[in-house]
Structure 1
């Protein structure tokens, strides 16, 4: 089965996940997993700046990198991931960095950006690395909730996050409540289906608009054979 081309639409954020071929806690270069994670975070910021990608949220755990970002063009995100992989490969010298081609989904602004952020920032807690997402040092959760004094200087908060409160304190408090409440199973499953199927995440009107804007079909084709047109009546 041929792999799908990358799905892209101008000014639409993308949820991206890249899995590592070898978990970061299995490093044998003498560096601790903490040092490897710190280096990858630095390289992520460098690559985002280099390719002018607006990163709105991110989470790095031992086996995967997940981020929500708006690229300036169709090649910017692939180049970011490639640059990150090259930097890491030069250090580890143990073959491929990523286990597979990264997966991505377009995300509807105004409806799905905050749920996508909550989903990705919740991963460290869901994987039992920490009890609260904001306690994980290798993600944007601490900056969004106010648990850290400042966020990474290469991050660009999405307008949906800014609209969630009139002041930084209000935004952080509201987002902290959302993050601790978590997502309904239906939302979580919808996000995961879009990401792992590499489709768009959004409501019907958004998906219809993408049909004429996106680089390829943004949602799966209906199952079954297309209906045959009705035969003309003779008379």
Structure 2
């Protein structure tokens, strides 16, 4: 005899099947799509490229690669993942970001996500940058690379919301805010360390993250972000 399925469970199964079959809005353009990001929007992220130096970038900022400028599709994707709970975007963004992470050479890679403020992470209910870093590491391993994502950084003190702050104010707000977790220096010795974030604005956050790791004896090779704010000529 077949196993009886109650009405509540049956409704859940129907909902799951509908999610698999029915179109959902593409997080990039809003059009109907059977995948989180439609092929056109995914292609719009582009090939990873080195972010050129900007006047607002701090001196301690490591080399950073991005997929796109902070506008249009890239901005929509990041905000959907980060602010609107589209957690299904993490694997797609991670796979897209993986080429921006891998440096020249076949050595092991350690991806370190930049931590969100604890209160912000609780309010969102998830850690978008951490999820993206894990997905990027998984994509690199699928390509035969030795790669792992580890949360080696934590906040040492309270910081203000960065929105609306100038580059100088952001740098002051974050100065000394991050520290390496205990035992961080023993994680994957010999691995090339790459910082992961979703957006590069003034560079203050990635610069502070790099400083915290360097003070713990962990050299930082560079950073990788989905999008970057670039000054137009």
Confirm or deny a common fold (TM above 0.5): no
- Richer in strand (by share): 2
